[in-house]
Amino acid sequence: MKSEFLMLATAIMLQHVLVITCDRDQTEEDRGPLLSFMSGVTSDPNGVLHDWNSTTSFCNWTGVKCSNNSFTYRGRRRVAELNLSDASLTGTISPSICNLTFLAILDLSKNFFVGRIPAELGDRCSMLRELSLAANQLTGNIPVELGNLNRLIYLSLGSNRLDGGIPARFFCNLSSLQYLDLSDNSFTGMMPITNHCTLKNLRFLLLWSNMFVGSIPASLSNSTKMEWIDFESNYLSGELPAAIIAGMPKLQSLHLSYNNMSSHDDNKDLSPFFLSLGFCRELQEVEVAGNGLGGDLNHLPSKLQYTNIMQLHLEDNLINGQIPMEISKLQNLTYVNLSYNLLNGSIPPEISKLGKLERVYLSNNLLSGSIPSSFGEIAHLGLLDLSRNLLSGSIPESLSNLTQLRNLILHNNYLAGTIPAILGNCNNLDILDLSHNKLTGVIPVEVAGLSSLSLYMNLSSNSLQGSLPLELSKLVMVIALDLSSNNLSGKIPNQIGTSCISLEYLNLSKNSFDGVLPDSVGRLPYLEILDVAENQITGNIPDSLEKSTSLKHLNLSFNKMKGSVPNDVGVFASLSMSSFVGNLGFCGNFSGMKPCSNTDVNRQGRHHLIVILLIIIMVICIPLILRFVLLIVKMRSRFFFNGSSGAGELTRQTEVDHPRITYRQLVLATNGFNESNLIGTGSFGRVYRGVLRDNTRIAVKILDPVITGGEIISRSFKRECDVLKATRHRNVIRIITTCSRPDFIALVLPLMANGSVENHLYNNSGDQRRRTLNLIQIVKIASDVAEGMMYLHHYSPVKVVHCDLKPSNVLLDEYMTAVVSDFGIAKLVIADEGVSDTSNSTTGLLRGSIGYIAPEYGMGGEASTEGDVYSFGVLVLEMVTGKRPTSDVVLKEGHSTLQDWVKSHHPHRLDSIIDHDRRQLLFNRVISTVDGGDVELLCRDVLIELIEVGLLSTQLSPATRPTMIEVANMIGQCKQDLTRAVICSHMDENEPNSSSFF
């Protein structure tokens, strides 16, 4: 009996051991394929796979998610998702990844994988529902085996180097597919979508930028759930697919531009196509540009008036006839492009009823008549391009009502009359082009002083007269100025050369300017092209033109200039006689130019002798003058004393922009740089608050040579001074003055009453009155910072890359207006290329602060505007979530960055990103007592938009990040949405910081 019991116990024990061993082996069977996949990765610059060799469960490895109870057996868990998107991984995709037999989601997009797509994916990964290999460098054909993935819902292979045709059974077997992206590759042949291959569940089909030929398959009409079609930039032919589109009631976006398609009835009738679009009541975007389509627009309004169409791209076709007045029925239009067609007749005034219009392109047509004054009623219009038509009459003064107008382009028409002075009210203009018309009169001083112009002003080829207004000196940001081929006269103002410091192109040719060419023009730091031909300019060539390092083209021909022309200095070394012909007084070594005579040489010698004598006199006299001045100073100092110390100091009239503040005044203002006045410390020194005798509150930033070495500090100090003195913007810190001694270097800045964003996010100041920022304040701060950074990147006279954007470097004044500060490690960028002070670059310094540094900097990348966009994105996500980029919450969940943590919860788990308590704080003072629920929904939408801006800005690849112009527009829209919702009367005006609302 005992022996039988022992045998039974032994058998049970052995069975138990076998089960444990078997379970352990099967539990770990997914580890091998993962490690094998990792072996194919040759570069992991961000250390994404750093924990893949750990002894912990592979279910906790970065990018790996295991199944829940759905696929467990006796406690075993299997890999269900592998997401390594946007990780900068390099290598090949190992076929062993296909041994993860329970894999449902595989996302390796936005990396640098090379080689072919493993065919084994289609043979072994039968559970796959989502497969994304987009934005890599994969080559070869699509494996026909991928057609076996009959559970696949999402497939993205776009932006690779794939080629060949699409396998026929590929579409037939993927009947569950909802999203298919094969765009931006080199696929050829026809689309193999036949009648027996129905894709009834397909919603998104993206095939743009390939080499597909033939017509669009008629069987696509079975895809009645289709929302997005993008076949742009292929070689598709045949008639526009009216019958197919009519069967897609949920279609929102249709992109067929730049193919070889035609309209109905031998390319004469667009009405069947417009009729089919009318069945798509959710339609928002139609793009059929660049096909050479014929027909007219008569049936467009009636067929599309019941859709939600917002964007209409019909440019670069052969569309004829008039613009129908019924176009006003398309009430949701924000963008319309009808340029490069054969449209004729007048522009219907009814277009003003399209109140949401933002951009209008009607250029390169045969439009005639006058410009409707009703354009001035379209409040949101930001771009109006009517160039290259047959328009006549005057420029409507009503255009001055367009406060959001950025681009006004009216060149190559027959416009007459004077330039309306009231156009100077359009103080957001970036581009003003009125060239090649019949405009007369003088250049209005109001228009000449449009300081907002940041790209170009072109008034050439008109009949303008009079002298150049001195107000042109206000164009400090304009890159190109063309006033050629007019009847302008008088002298060229010296102020153009001293103030318009961003100019790269200046054309004043074919006028009647006289006098000498100002030397200051040659000193413009970025000037590349200067053309003053065919005027009455006299005098010698300014020395500054010889010394210019930026000048690439110069035309001085047909003037009355004289003197010797150099041929081996600067731009002159690359010029020919054509740049000087017509100036009888010139001499030099150019072919066809008279050589300089002895008289000319003697004259030049006398000139040089006079210069030398003047220098000698100055060397002798200046020391005597200085000693005399010092004597006067000593005599005056007896009557002016410093009341605190009795030490005499000279009292001077302070300058408006940069007043003189002495070291002693700073000592008194900060109570001897007392620790109680210390408001911040950083890698370059300390910041103290202080009050001057006139009660001006200041912040004194002292750069400490002991911390980082005197040489680096002096470079940093010079760089910050250069940045701050060259910039003028309400959202960029303003410099009061500087103070420098051999042992002391400081910047004097205005004191920001509300501290930094860092203080408000985490209350580091200890001031209990400072509360968590609410949503309105966050949106306003984000908008202010975006505007400031947009100015620094795109519109500042000296282009600036900040390199250290973070909450502590965003300061808040008494009105909670945000300003960008601390340019200690900034680089000044000239015209978006190169660095202005490369000799003093901070090589070896880390560009930014941990958590905000763009990933490309870690790989040795140069400082760039894209790096600032990345830091801005982190800042936005930090303000929204209230979590630092190095927060424990982020790190505990296995994410290396704040944006990765947010991305893992967005968009379906907003509550995990922003918990209930924080939402209450964010929505404080936003939700009114009226329709509170609706406002709360709006607040959630704004939060989501802010998160998406943050995620867009922090994309791994710099090329895919938006510019600060685009970011500022997105944030501005959020601000506008909240402005409409918040009712000021419901706000407590007695509450502190009440002025912080919009």
For 891-923, b where at least 16 C-beta lie within 10 A, e where not — what string? eeeebbbbbbbbbbbbeeeeeebbeeeebeebb
Residues 6 or more apart whose Cβ sits within 8 Å of residue 789: 802, 805, 820, 868, 869, 872, 964, 967, 968
Q: How far is CA 597 from CA 490, 572, 603, 610, 746, in A?
A: 32, 20, 10, 20, 56
- Establish whether 704 is a catalytic residue: no
Question: In sequence order, which ranges of 147-249 are alpha helices (DSSP H)?
Answer: 168-173, 242-246
Q: Are 808 and 758 in contact (CB under 8 A)?
A: yes
Q: Are 904 and 952 in contact (CB under 8 A)?
A: no
Residues 6 or more apart whose Cβ sits within 8 Å of residue 176: 150, 151, 152, 153, 201
Q: Which of 167, 213, 206 is nearest to 189 (CA)?
A: 213
| CA 881 distance to own-chain centroid | 23
Rounded to whole angstroms, how far apart are CA atoms 904 and 345? 55
Q: Is 998 helix (H, G, I), strand (E, B) or coil?
A: coil
Kindly report the number of other CB atoms within 10 A of residue 260's CB atom: 13
Kindly report the number of other CB atoms within 10 A of residue 112's CB atom: 16
**Dihedral of CA 686/691/693/694: which sign?**
positive
| DSSP string covering 464-487 | -EEPPPGGGGG-SS-SEEE--SSE
Residue located via tokens 């005056």: 636
| CA 929 distance to own-chain centroid | 38
Element (H, E) at 337: strand 335-337
For 441-450, b where at least 16 C-beta lie within 10 A, e where not — what string? ebbbebbbbb
Rounded to whole angstroms, how far apart are CA atoms 429 and 968? 16
Q: What is the DSSP letter of 963?
A: P
Rounded to whole angstroms, how far apart are CA atoms 560 and 944? 65
Q: Are 397 and 422 in contact (CB under 8 A)?
A: yes
Residue 712 in tokens: 């680096």
Rounded to whole angstroms, how far apart are CA atoms 339 and 364? 6
Considering 30, 230, 482, 804, which one is annotated as catalytic? 804
Rounded to whole angstroms, how far apart are CA atoms 217 and 247? 13
For 291-320, b where at least 16 C-beta lie within 10 A, e where not — what string? bebbbbbebbbebbbebebbbbbbbbbbbb
Q: What dihedral do alpha carbons 226, 228, 232, 235 form, nearest 10°?
A: -10
Residue 479 in tokens: 């890159």
Q: Are 757 and 810 in contact (CB under 8 A)?
A: yes
Q: How far is CA 382 from CA 409, 422, 447, 501, 784, in A?
A: 11, 17, 18, 26, 20
Rounded to whole angstroms, how far apart are CA atoms 689 and 749? 10
Q: Is 819 helix (H, G, I), strand (E, B) or coil?
A: strand
Residues 6 or more apart whose Cβ sits within 8 Å of residue 582: 533, 534, 557, 558, 559
* Residue 701 annotated as part of some ligand binding site: yes
**Dihedral of CA 890/894/899/902: which sign?**
negative
Rounded to whole angstroms, how far apart are CA atoms 994 and 798? 36
Please give the positions annotated as active site. 804
Q: List, as residue ranges, the binding site.
A: 701
Q: List, as residue ranges, the binding site for ATP.
A: 701
